[in-house]
Amino acid sequence: MSMPYGSSISRASAFSPHGHLRRFLGSCLACGAFCIAVSLVRAQSSGAPDIKLDPYSPSDRWSVTFTVLPSPAPQPYSNISDANLQAMQAIDTSYQAAVDGGSMLRDKQGEFQFTLYLNRTSVFRQEVYAYKIIENAYGSFNDLEGTVNVRLNSTDEVLGTVKVPLHCADGPPNALVVPSSDTPTTAPDQKVNMGSERDFSITLMNQMQLDAALGPATVQVSCGGCLQSVSAMPYPTGLAPGDKVQVSFKLNPNLAQAMHAAGAPNYLTLTIPVTAAEGGAQRGQQITIPIHFSPPPILTAFCVLLGTLLGGAIRAFTKNGGFNPWPWNEFILGLIYGALTWAVADFLYLGGTRVTLFTVPLDPTQLFQAALLCALAGAGPPVLKQLDNSALKSLPGGN
């Protein structure tokens, strides 16, 4: 019985060495193609996603944009498991991210940067991609914690939101302020007795949304040598957002120079180095404290008495045209007018009322001004009228 022709050829090929080789090579090529395809798919699925962070721009005066630099290869999650991670609030649940709160630092160019870790949720606990995020800050603002969107670059899809510390390149401009004040960097006036040491304190508040560390305080005096010594000590030196700090001052006046400087505005300039938490830049926060010198009470009383006596004597002389006989009633009336005027002026001055006469501030707490005020008030209308007439005669065309 003879076999079909085709069947004999097939069987012969099946036992041919060349047939085995062709089948082997074909299998190898198929396996290679499959492996390459799987590798490409895996590489595409596990590569670092191309992401961006939305700008943080609450106003035209300042903003923060972000530059994202991904790492080329993933790293084991075990490398970062002990880091201070703040998880992303996921919107797209297929991705998981976290910000390393302890990675914030300032580079040599003065830019702040931190690390963000991201990968797909299915592999996040196994391996993660690290992204270096560089903050590009514009303008001056108080350091704070901002919430920004994380997006896929390819689709502009929001993956979630992360909270990151946002730092001003020059440090916070007004981290410490005087609470409940219209001028938050100016403290209330302080009265300083020229003849004795003065201790006082002011209260400041941390208005940043981040913690603050305070350095040693320094004080500058506008009137030069009017103070023999001055010191300021803040406590505490570590502040949480909204915390208050007491700054204690100790002043030792120099009597002679303080009396000379008393006629002009004087102030202290307090400078406290402030550094925001999580890598912020240090800035010297400045607070102005106006100071008002007052002479020793015994000298003030002596000048008030001298002024009232002079005013009473002038009043008595001008009223009677001489001192014979002595007009005791006018003299005593001058004393009363001078003393009452000084008392009222002192009350108004301490309440914030200021009077200037011929560019000279009539400060009833100062020696010369106190004596002058009492003398003019005690002398009465005749002297004021004479002064008025003298001023009129000095004008062009006056008689």
- Predicted local distance difference test score (pLDDT) of residue 296: 73
Helices vs strands, H then E, count in the chain: 7, 22
Nearest to 195 by CA among 143, 246, 255: 255
Q: Where are the domains of the chain?
A: 51-166, 176-294, 297-393
**In this predicted structure, what is the pLDDT of residue 399?**
52
- C-alpha distances (whole Å) from 350 to each of 191, 251, 343, 345 are 10, 21, 11, 9
The sign of the CA dihedral 207, 110, 162, 125 is negative
Residues in the chain: 399
> Which residues, 6+ apart, have CB-to-CB distance to 64 below 8 Å?
55, 56, 57, 135, 136, 137, 138, 146, 166
Model confidence, pTM: 0.68
pLDDT at 175: 94
CA distances from 174 to 185, 270, 276 (A): 8, 13, 12
pLDDT at 149: 97
Which residue is listed with tokens 């009396």? 259
Core vs surface per residue 17-35: b (16+ CB within 10 A) or e: eeeeeeeeeeeeeeeeeee
Which residues, including other chains, have CB under 8 Å from residue 120's CB and lie 6 or more apart? 45, 46, 94, 95, 96
- DSSP, residue by residue, 329-375: HHHHHHHHHHHHHHHHHHHHHHTT---EETTEE--TTSHHHHHHHHH
Predicted confidence pLDDT, tens digits, the chain (399 residues): 444 444 443 444 444 555 555 665 556 565 555 554 444 444 444 578 999 999 999 988 999 999 999 988 999 999 998 888 999 999 999 999 999 988 999 888 889 999 999 999 999 999 999 999 999 999 999 999 999 999 999 999 999 999 999 999 889 999 999 998 889 999 999 988 887 899 999 999 999 999 999 999 999 999 888 999 999 999 999 999 999 999 999 999 988 888 788 767 899 999 999 999 988 999 999 999 999 888 777 777 888 899 888 988 888 887 766 667 778 888 888 888 888 888 888 887 766 676 665 566 677 777 777 888 888 888 877 666 666 555 545 555 555
Q: Report which DSSP code applies to 103.
A: E
In CATH, what number does 176-294 get? 2.60.40.10
In 3D space, the residue among 165, 132, 162 whose CA is nearest the CA of residue 281 turns out to be: 165
Around Cβ 67, how many Cβ atoms within 10 Å? 13
| Whole-number Cα distances in Å, 173 to 56, 106, 143, 208, 295 | 18, 18, 9, 10, 37
Which pLDDT value is given to residue 325?
Answer: 74
For 19, residues 6+ apart whose C-beta sits below 8 A from its C-beta are 13
pLDDT of residue 43: 41
Which 3 state secondary structure label does DSSP give 91? Answer: coil
Residue with token string 């790492």: 71
pLDDT in tens, 203-241: 999 999 999 999 999 999 998 889 999 999 999 999 999
Per DSSP, helices labelled H in the chain are 5-14, 17-46, 255-261, 297-320, 328-350, 367-379, 381-393
Nearest to 263 by CA among 370, 376, 351: 370
How far is it, in rounded angstroms, from Cα 245 to Cα 93?
A: 44
Instruction: Give the number of other Cβ atoms within 10 Å of residue 205's Cβ.
Output: 18
With CA atoms as reference, report the closest residue to 248 among 195, 207, 289: 289
The answer to whether residues 69 and 134 touch, using CB atoms and an 8 Å cutoff, is: yes
Compute the CA torsion angle 315, 316, 318, 320 (nearest 10 deg).
150
